[in-house]
Amino acid sequence: MPAFPLPLETLVGKPLMYLIFAIIGFAFGYVLEISGFGDSTKLAAQFYFKDLTVLKVMFTSIVVAMVLIFAMVGLGVLDFNQVWVNPTYLWSGILGGLIMGVGFIVGGFCPGTSLVSAATFKIDGIFFVLGGLFGIFLFGETEQFYDYWWNTAGYLGRFTVMDWLHLPTGVVVLLVVLMALFMFWGGEQLERIFGKRDLKREPLMRYAGAGALTLGALAVIFIGQPTVTQKWTRLEPAKAPLLAERQVQIHPGELLASMGNDRLNLILLDVRSETDYNLFHIHGAQHVPVSDLPALVPKLLVEPPKNSVYVVMSNDEAAATEAWKVLVANSVPNVYILEGGVNQWLGIFGAEETASVPTPAPPGDDSLRYTFSAALGDHYPAAQPVPHEWQLEYTPKIKLQLQRDKSGGGCG
Amino acid sequence: MTTLTPSKPLRPNLSALIFNRPQKAYVHPYLGGFLLGLVLFSAFFLTGNGLGASGGLNRLVVFVEDLIAPAHVDRVSYLLKLAGGDKNPLDDWIVPLVAGTLVGGFASGWLNGRLQVKTNKGPHISTRQRWLWAFVGGSIMGYGARMARGCTSGQALSGGAVLSVGSWAFMFAVFGGAYALAYFVRKLWN
């Protein structure tokens, strides 16, 4: 596993983890203040083109962090799948943003800067924070009236610009850097015209910074982003033994017991061919060919319930094992393989089934060893055995592993 | 001939320590941005989370509401998610982060001589008017921030750095909204 981000709660416990967040917050507040963001008139000046500090600080910080993040991801040091990417709720995001823009120019702050201002005893900052608390309270009271819209309109999940434009990560990083540099240049011209600023007094170092950012973006392109195969190769020493020691293959009896266990959020992924899936599949299993799994990963990473357990299945175990590797390489936690696959499931639960006829076939080639007279999918008793009718012996293997040991990223 | 001045009482020295420190200049925006970028990167690198602010304020509001009207909190789905039953809304990474932000802002203000009880405002409005508009603006901002599920820190900076489409759309909307209204509220600032 890439070493970062760190599993802080497991590593140092919650109190120390919260201390680390407090230290990060301290640095955040400190940098905001030394940039002048405790002063509302400086913040507002952005919108009259006189002093574009807001633009410069915000976009510089974004591109610096972005280049560093994706360079570290490319080098395999930072696991992007464990980095919080704000889920996209397009319409509530845009409307909320417009409203925030109004609040910004009327009040002169955003929430973060208002905290810094209040902390330095600026009375307008304090009033803004109080107003902010009130506005938040109002939202809590009124959200229920448009709850459906707020939770579904324009929901695209974990959706990056790379996903949207179908461009490689490095190219997007370079485009964003170039866009930011263009905005800085434009901003300086506006400051010269509207703010009467003498650009010759600006530090020449900024051109070096621009060059460094561009080089950084080019480096990200050059390093590339890890493929699934590369990610698996890095994990193989730690994870392959789990497969070899049969620690992640669960007996059909355990799967049946889990289906009745309310404390688990069970997700069944059937990675066989569509034909096999249509002939017979376990009730509740979704059909996802192995090649489609990477596209499914962002959906699996967007804040699933902590008790989510994924069980992949094929006819025997070959395709399911491939699927397991893909999911594990993508940092999906709690993935298990159905031991013996659908064939073993039918062997146990379909023994009295008249519709399924066992077909002798070479074992282990991951083909379905039963024939069915019709493709009825899960409309068979064997697809949904009644748990209390079966007393099966097996070694239980499911152990819930914490995916994120904090309540996810995101503001609130 | 020199005369000894009478010994000064303790309070002015304390005031000098806190309020009358020499005021330093702000750092250059690109430098501030670079430093902020390092903080943002470190947050993602070490913890997987970015920064944030409105979420912490949100949890504070819900915490107080849960003290005053817990039954109400249990009935409203948005509040329930944060504080339903015996869930503690303050038990979340963003709360220490916001607390740290306050302390960091204070520390910087103190060390750089910018701790001052004053009101920053445009030249053509009164202090009281500024306070009113700060409160109104804050309310609008607070409402919008929760609707957008984050503010400039949590959505624009953090989501922007990891290239979330929604965050970039949000960021342009914030700037768009502010620029669109700027002309109409110019008296507040100019």
Chain-wide mean pLDDT for chain A?
91
What number is the average pLDDT over the span A177-181?
Answer: 97
* Span A238-251, pLDDT tens digits: 899 999 999 999 99
Q: Confidence class of residue A107 from pLDDT cuts 50, 70 and 90?
A: very high
- Contact flag A62-B186 (C-beta cutoff 8 Å): no
What number is the average pLDDT over the span A262-277?
Answer: 92
CA dist A144 and A140 (Å) reads 8
Identify the pLDDT of residue B184: 95
Q: Which chain B residues have a beta carbon less than 8 Å from that of A64?
A: 33-34, 36-38, 40-41
Give the least confident one: A19-33, A150-164, A195-209.
Answer: A195-209
What number is the average pLDDT over the span A187-201?
Answer: 88
Identify the pLDDT of residue A164: 95
Whether the predicted pLDDT of B134 surpasses 80: yes
To the nearest 10°, the Cα dihedral for A321, A326, A331, A335?
Answer: -30
* Span A386-408, pLDDT tens digits: 888 888 888 888 887 654 444 55
Whether the predicted pLDDT of A223 surpasses 80: yes
Domain limits, chain A: 8-227, 229-389
Whether the predicted pLDDT of B10 surpasses 60: no
Cβ density class A280-307: b for 16+ within 10 Å, e for less:
bbbeebebbebeebeebbbebbbebebe
Whether the predicted pLDDT of A375 surpasses 80: yes
**E strand or H helix that includes residue A169:** helix A169-194
What number is the average pLDDT over the span B8-25?
Answer: 72
Helix B29-47 × helix A205-223 angle, to 10°: 30
Token reading at B142: 């607070």
Task: State the pTM of this model.
Answer: 0.89
Give the phi and the psi of residue A157 in degrees, each rounded to 5.
Answer: 70, -150
Fold that domain A229-389 belongs to in CATH = Oxidized Rhodanese; domain 1 (3.40.250)
Give the least confident one: A149-153, A360-364, B64-68, B115-119.
Answer: A360-364
Nearest to A409 among B49, B132, B170 (CB): B49
- Contact flag A121-B27 (C-beta cutoff 8 Å): no
What number is the average pLDDT over the span A76-87?
Answer: 93
- Contact flag A17-B140 (C-beta cutoff 8 Å): no
Identify the pLDDT of residue A405: 44
Q: How distant is the Cα of B38 from the closest Cα of chain A, in angstroms?
A: 6
* Span A36-67, pLDDT tens digits: 999 999 999 999 998 999 999 999 999 999 99
Task: Find residues 85-144 of chain A whose CB sits inside 8 Å of chain B.
Answer: 85-90, 92-112, 114-125, 127-141, 143-144
- Contact flag A115-B131 (C-beta cutoff 8 Å): no
Identify the pLDDT of residue A242: 92
What number is the average pLDDT over the span A274-302?
Answer: 91
CA dist A169 and A176 (Å) reads 11
Task: Find residues 1-60 of chain A whose CB sits inside 8 Å of chain B.
Answer: 4-6, 8, 17-36, 38-42, 44-48, 52-53, 56-60
Contact (CB, 8 A) for A370 and A358 = yes
CA dist A61 and A66 (Å) reads 8
Chain-wide mean pLDDT for chain B?
91
* Span A118-144, pLDDT tens digits: 999 999 999 999 999 999 999 999 999
- Contact flag A147-B78 (C-beta cutoff 8 Å): yes
What number is the average pLDDT over the span A348-355?
Answer: 77
Cβ density class A196-235: b for 16+ within 10 Å, e for less:
ebeeeebeeebeebbeebbebbebbbebebbeeeebbebb
- Contact flag A64-B117 (C-beta cutoff 8 Å): no
- Contact flag B146-A412 (C-beta cutoff 8 Å): yes
| Residue % of chain A over a pLDDT of 90 | 71
Identify the pLDDT of residue B6: 57
| Closest to A282 (Cα-Cα) out of A342, A335, A234, A242 | A342
Q: Confidence class of residue B145 from pLDDT cuts 50, 70 and 90?
A: very high
Token reading at A406: 């904090």
ipTM of the complex: 0.92
| Closest to B59 (Cα-Cα) out of B29, B32, B75, B79 | B79
